[in-house]
Every structure is written in C-alpha cells, then in structure tokens.
A and B are shown apart, each in its own frame.
Chain A
Amino acid sequence: MAASDITILCVDDEETPRTLRKLILQKQGYQVITAASGAEALEVLDRVSINLVLSDQMMPGMTGTELTKSVKAMRPTMPVILISGVNEIPADARYADRFVSKIGGPDLLFKTVAEVLEEYSRTALEG
C-alpha cells in the first residue's frame, strides 16, 4: 500500500507539536487527520476510515494509553503508536503497538510507522 493510501490519525493536545508532526508525516506522503484529544480521536475514528493512530501519551482527559485501550476495544486491528516525551515507558504502553520517544527524531518515527503498517498489512493478508 502506498503511503498516500494511508491515513494517520495524529492525536496531541498541544497544537504546535501536533501541526508539526502532521507536516512531517505529510512530507513523508501520508494522509493525516488530527485530533486534539482522545475523545475527539475516538469520534473521528467513528466517522473516518483510519489506518493508524499516532497519539501523544500525556494528554489531559484521556492519556494515550487509555485511548489505546478504547481504540483497540473498538477496532482490535487498528495499529496504535504512542509517542511521548516521557523518558520511561509506562506500564500499560504494551497495549499499543509501539511506544516511541519524541526525541528519537522524525526518522525514528517514520521507521516505526512503516514497520507497524507493514506488520498489519502482512497480518491482514494472512487473514
């Protein structure tokens, strides 16, 4: 699947980081929809066809891991990547497919996204 066919839901409560993340993903060729909160993200998920959720961890209201749980509950086959500035991986991060540090840089992010999508497409193929 081409990057252009992938829609990533980018969730972050802070606008600038959210926007910048969207921009670099778009530069990679992905389609990006943003949400400013976990609740909004879930609502978007309902309406729109999303291929991957990329969410910040530390968000008021609903943390990234909590969002992950809800997403996985709704869509078990939905890949979720959590990105965070925290320096320790939280316990329930394992519900997500990946936990990426923000200081890993854009390359790490791209690599991770690509890996996860690859995994999921393979799984989907295998049925």
Chain B
Amino acid sequence: MNDNDQANILMVDDQPGKLMSYEVILKELGENLIQARSAREALDHLLRQDVAVVLMDVSMPEIDGFELADMMRQHPRFQKTAIIFISAVHLTDLDRIRGYRSGAVDYISVPVIPELLRAKVSVFAELHRKNRQLERLNRELEQRVAERTEQLHQSEHQFRTLANSIPQLAWMADAQGSIFWYNQRWYDFIGTSPGEMPTWGWRGVQHPDHADRVLQLLEKSRQACEPWEDTFPLLGEDGNYRWFLSRAVPIFDSQGSLVRWFGTSTDISTQISAEEQIRNLNGQLQERVAELEAIMKVLPVGVAVSHDPESSVVTANLALSQLLGVKPGENIATRIDVAVAGSLDLYRNGDRLASGDHPLKRTAKTGEQLGSLELEVRGPDGKPIFLQSSASPLFDQFGNVRGAVGAFINVTDRKHLEDLLRERADLLELATEAIIVRDMHGVLLFWNSGAEALYGWKREEVLGKSIHQVLKTRFPKGFSDVENALAQTGKWNGNLTQFTRDGHEMTVACRKALKADGNAVLEINRDISAQLNAEDALRKAERLAAMGRMAGIIAHEINNPLEAITNTFYLLRDHPSLDEEARYLAKLGDEELLRVSHITRQTLGFYRESEHSVEVSISAILDEILELQARQMEFSNIVLRKQFRSKGTIWGFPVELRQVFLNLIGNAVQAMPDGGTLSLRVFKSSRGCDRRAEVCVSVFDTGTGIDPEHAKHLFEPFFTTKETKGTGLGLWISRGIVQKYGGTIRFRNISLAGRNVTCFQVRLPESDFQGVIDPIVGSREVAEKAEASNGGF
C-alpha cells in the first residue's frame, strides 16, 4: 500500500440506513468504504483486509461496539486500529476516557455532523496511512540495517580470510592493547592455538636481547596512539628465532577515539640473512677490488679497460699509462681514437689500424675475444714500441657486452732480440762454414745449412744423432786430447778427417768452443781439402819450379860442355889422323854422346827449334812416328788400326808435338811386348763451355794396362813402371807440352772380360792465330817479331 492508496474504512452498524448515510457522507473522501452489519461481519472484514478506521455504532444487538472494540484490542493486529464510536447515547466522560485508553478512538454523537465525521475519518485514515508508511520505512530501514550488517559480516569474513592467507603474521587488539585476534599464520609460526596466546607484547616469544626495547617502544606507541614499527626476533615453534619487521597502526572511529590496533609482522629473516650476505659479499667485493687495483698497479703488463661498448671511457693502469705517457686514471679514450688529432696510431704489420680495428674497441663493441696481435705504436719520444695485444670482452648480467679489457705487453726488447737472433741465424745460414752445436754426449743440437752443404746430411736427418757417428771423425792425436783441451781452455783448433754422407773423405779445419754454461760444444768446420790440395799442388809446383830452375841451371851447365864435346867428336869423325880403331872409338863416343844429347834434350830442353809456330798436321806427325815404330811393332806382333778423320791441323812446333806423340805411341808399343792392337784416332770436336774447336787424338793399346795404384802418379816426373828403360819423364814432359798448348791429356783404363784397353787422349785447341802462349813471357810472339824486324828497335 502506498501513500496514495485508498484506506479501508469499515462501517459497522446494524442499521443499513445508517450505513448508507455514512457512505454518502464519506464518499467524497475517496477512501474504500466497507459495510458490515454486525460485529461478526466486521471481524470478518478486519481479518480479511487491512482496515484503517472502523466506524462503529455503539449500540448493536448481540455484540456492541465496546465489546467489539475490546475484542479488537485483544487482538494484537487490531490493537492500534482506529475506532470511531458513533453513539446515540450520551456517553459520560468516564466512558470516553475508557475508550481513549484503549487507543486511537474518537466519539461522534448522533446526529452525525457530516463534516465532523468526514474530518475525523480522514484524520484516522491519514493516520493509518502514515502509520503504514512508517511501518514500511521501518521495515526498509531494518532491511538495510540487516543488509549492512550482513555486508559487514562478509567484510569481516573476507578480512579474516585475507588475514589468514597473507604471509605475514597479523593481529588485532582492542584500544587497551589486548589482542583479541591473530591470523592463522601466527598460530602456525608461534605454535600456539587460539586462546593460548601470550599477552600484549608477546613476552613469551620475544628474544631476550630485544624484549625490553621492543616492549618499551610498543608501550610508548600505544600510549601515544601512534603507529609502531620495530624489528626483532621471535621464537618459532621449531625453537628457532626468526627476524620479524612488526608494525601496528591505531584505528580511530569517526570521533577520533582509538577503537582498536591492527598489526602485522613480516618474516625478514631471509632478508636479514640476505642483507648480511650482501654485507659480506660487499666486504669481499671490496677486498677483491682492492686486490685487483693493487695487481693492476703492480703489473708490468699494460692493461686498459673500456667501460662501455662505444669505448668512450677507457682507463689504463700504471704500466700502460707510463708506456703511453699519460697520467694514470686519465680517460685515454681520445688517445685511441684515430679520428682525434694527437691520438696514438696503432700499426699492424706496417699498416695503420683503422679506429674500429683497435682490439680494445672492437672487443668492447662486438664481444669477440681477440688473441695475441703484435701491434706497433709510436711512443711519446717517437720511437716505435711493439705491443703484444689481446682483448677480452666484459659482459653484463644479461649477457650483453658492456666493455672490454685489453692487455698490452711491451715486447719491443724481445722483438729486437728476436730480430737480432734472426739476423744472426741468417748469418749462420749464410756462412758457408759448417756450424754445428752438440751436447756433451755428442748429440747434435744445431746443424746449419753450411753443414748440410759440406757433409751432405740434411738437418732433419742428423739432429739428435751422435756427431761422431754421423761424421766418422778421425782425430790426429785422439779424441781424449781434444776433450781435455776443451775442458781446460774451452777451445780447440785443429785439422780432422771427416767423411761426407757419400763416404767422401775430406780434411776439415775445425774450431771447437765450449759454450759458456759448459753444456754444449760449438764447432765450426771448414773443408780445407781443396786448400790442402792447392797447397800441395803449390808445393809441387814450387818443387817443379825449383826443379825447373835447377834444370835450367843444369841445362846450361851441361849443355855447354855437351856442345863442345859434340863438336869435338864431329871434328874427330873424319879426322884423317885417326886410324880405324880410333875412328871406331870416336864413333862409339859420338853415339853415346848422342844418347846424352837425347836425354838432355828430353829433360833439359823444352827448346824450340824456331820461334815461329807453324801449321802442323797431327796426322802427319803420327804417320812419321808410326814409320819410326814400324819395325818394333812388327817385332812385337802389334796390329795397327788407324782412324784419321781429320788432318788435325794446328799451329805449333812440330818437334815438341812429335815428342808428345812419340812418347804416347812408344808407351803403347812397349805395353804390348807380346802382341796386341794399337789404335789411333784423330778427329775434330767442339766441346767445352766456349765450344772451342779441338783436335782430339786417342791412342789405344791392348797391353798390360795401368795399375790403379800407379794411375795417380802417372804424370809425375821420374815415375816409371818400366824396369830398365825410361827416364820416367816422358808423360810429365808430354803433359807439360800439351798444357802449353792449352790442351789436356787424359787416360783411361778399361778392363773387360780379362782384356785390357788403355787409352790416352790428347786434346789440343785449334788456335786461330799464329802464336802459342810462351810460358815464360806469356805473350804472343809472331806478330811482334814481324814488327820488330821491320821497324828495328
């Protein structure tokens, strides 16, 4: 029923006519009029509907109005229902008071005044309406309150749920500080159950060291009604203390008075221990940093650190700073930026490094590890400094590159040393002498290319082997002498015999030196075989020269009287005074003298019958000689084979040439006393590096051959294999003559199936001028002679 609803007016009267009149009067109120003819009917209506006002006739048969009113008043529902008595009877004040006492009642007497009736009814109707409104509002209010309360309950429930789920310990206390609620965590931690909790301040679970302070502060805050915070350990169920950060806040009502306390305690044990760890770590870190700084300071290696990927900040340690000539700690980023004037240029293998290739910058940027690079930088004084450089990246916690560390070792000295050593090594390689180093057991440690060339062993083949094994050294006096000398003086010089790889024997001038530390021996060997041979040859030549000089002197001394004697016999020959016997004796003397002449001619005279050389045909000379030898050859059963492909014409002196070939052919014939074959060949050839034309003459015999032992001495003077005849000078002289012509004479001995062939070959250059080099003067003669005879002196 809302405010404007019709109220139900119940009219009770046993007289319908009265009911009708009431209806007419009340109609204009607009309310709902209900008629009832009896009290019972009225009750019925009352029960069925919500009646605002009951208009009641007092006098009614059976149950009168007062009785009805009493009945209504007994019913709780109708206790407050308004009743208007309509009474014809005069009611005493006492009656009215009685009526008023029973609530909401009014009287109207008959005759009813319509306006009055209307007014009273409308008042009560209105009242009823208002009551109903009020009831409704009340109900709504109650509902709201109930809802509110419910919400509050829910909130509180949620709060408790929340409070129980947070990891913190939580509690609530009343204004006096008495804790009336703990969250579940609390119980879990402390290990108590609700109801067993300690008092305000939690004395029982406080750490003795902290308890007093905590409680003091807490009490202070409580009294001041101010928020409280403290950190202290609490004893847990497991018997261990844990650190808690505890807070409490006062809660005030709308009037500002303290209603309760709300607090939390947060377990910061891990945090505390973490903090302690961090403190420790920090301490350690600081120590490490200090160590690092000390190391950097003391390190002789230059170290630079790039603090960002762009290398805008680069610091150098003491060593590097000194190297670069900068102050320690100064940012050297600009010094390594080639774009900046005055920066330090880095070179690698002679090429200037671009900015990005600076190892430190590159690593700081790209994160790549750069291994040893040799770089060159110009020092503050302009001299080059060589640095062995490497760079390592630095990474942040995400794995990104955040900088780099570079190390720079000054290897300038080492490089110089290396260069020096390399030069020395190169020099050692250049040396043609064999330079060898061996240890005290003779094991080879060093073998230069001179040694390789001299001995024929490559260094890979001999290093690690014993020197004496390799070289088969023969010492003049014995190994121990050498060792002693070395041990005492540290040196030894001398000549040794050593063998090359292919067994060739040679004499070596050896200088040994003991290394300073006494662990190895350095040897420098020089092949002096050639030198010795040359010395030998020189000695021989000198001997020969001496002999020649002597021969010259002897020649002169002998030739003079020889000529005289020859002349004497010449004169005696046909002297008339001689008888037959005397003539015979003279003839004998003459013949023997001829022999002497022959010998002296051979030995003491390289004489030439003229100064002019003439065109000589070797073939012709050979033919002449063959004629002379014909008888002997026949006698010895020697077969002749001639192969003259050329006349073999050269410019020379017939007599001496004849002497040469007479010697060779004579030897050949003498080598075949019991028969054989004599072969002669003459041909032209061009040979030699200058392709000069030569006449080659070969004399072959199938005689006794030449003993290898004799072969060496064949061309030596006074060497002869013939027992009786021979001066031993023939081949020597022949060779001398051939050499004067600039030619060669060689022999070969071939043994084949028991048979022997000996071959002597003479090669004489075809000269294209009319002179032969005179050994004494060394000049060409004929042209000069022609000039001399024309022009006088």
Contact = CB atoms under 8 A, between A and B. Distances in A.
Contact of B555 (A14, A87, A90, A94): A87
B50 interface: no
Nearest to A17: B564
A76 B792 contact: yes
Nearest to B565: A20
Contacts of B341: none
Contact of B563 (A73, A95, A98, A103): A103
Interface string A67-89: 00100110010000001111111
A108 B607 contact: no
Interface stretch (A21-29, A32-40, A44-52): A21-29
B781 A16 contact: no
A103 B601 contact: yes
Contacts of B608: 89
Interface string B570-581: 110000000000
Contacts of A6: none
B776 interface: yes
A70 to B, nearest CB: 10
A126 to B, nearest CB: 14
Nearest to A88: B776
B605 A103 contact: yes
B586 to A, nearest CB: 14
B560 A21 contact: no
A73 B552 contact: no
Contacts of A94: 611, 781, 784-785, 788
A91 interface: yes
B395 interface: no
A67 B609 CA distance: 21
B551 interface: yes
Contacts of A95: 788, 793
B480 interface: no
Contacts of A20: 563-564, 567-568, 571
A27 B573 CA distance: 12
Contact of B562 (A21, A84, A98, A103): A103
Nearest to B781: A94
Contacts of A27: 570-571
A93 B611 contact: yes
B567 A24 contact: yes
B609 A104 contact: yes
Contacts of B609: 101, 104, 108
A21 B567 contact: yes
B567 A101 contact: no
A60 interface: no
Contacts of B162: none
A69 B793 CA distance: 8
Interface residues of A, number: 34
Interface in B606-655: 606-611
B508 interface: no
Interface string A1-26: 00000000000001011001101100
Nearest to A102: B563
B522 to A, nearest CB: 53
Nearest to B786: A94
A91 B777 contact: yes
Contacts of A106: 566-567, 570
A14 B781 CA distance: 31
A103 B559 contact: yes
Interface in B531-578: 551-552, 555-564, 566-568, 570-571
Interface string B1-34: 0000000000000000000000000000000000
A16 B564 CA distance: 7
A105 interface: yes
Nearest to A101: B607
A80 to B, nearest CB: 12
B600 interface: yes
Contacts of A21: 563, 567
A91 B556 contact: no
B610 A88 contact: no
A69 B566 CA distance: 29
Contacts of A87: 551-552, 555-556, 559, 604-607
Nearest to B566: A105
B597 interface: yes
Contacts of B776: 88-91
27 contacts: A16-B564, A17-B561, A20-B563, A21-B567, A23-B567, A27-B571, A69-B793, A72-B792, A85-B559, A86-B552, A86-B555, A87-B552, A87-B605, A91-B776, A94-B785, A94-B788, A95-B788, A101-B559, A102-B559, A102-B563, A103-B562, A103-B607, A104-B607, A104-B609, A106-B566, A106-B570, A108-B609
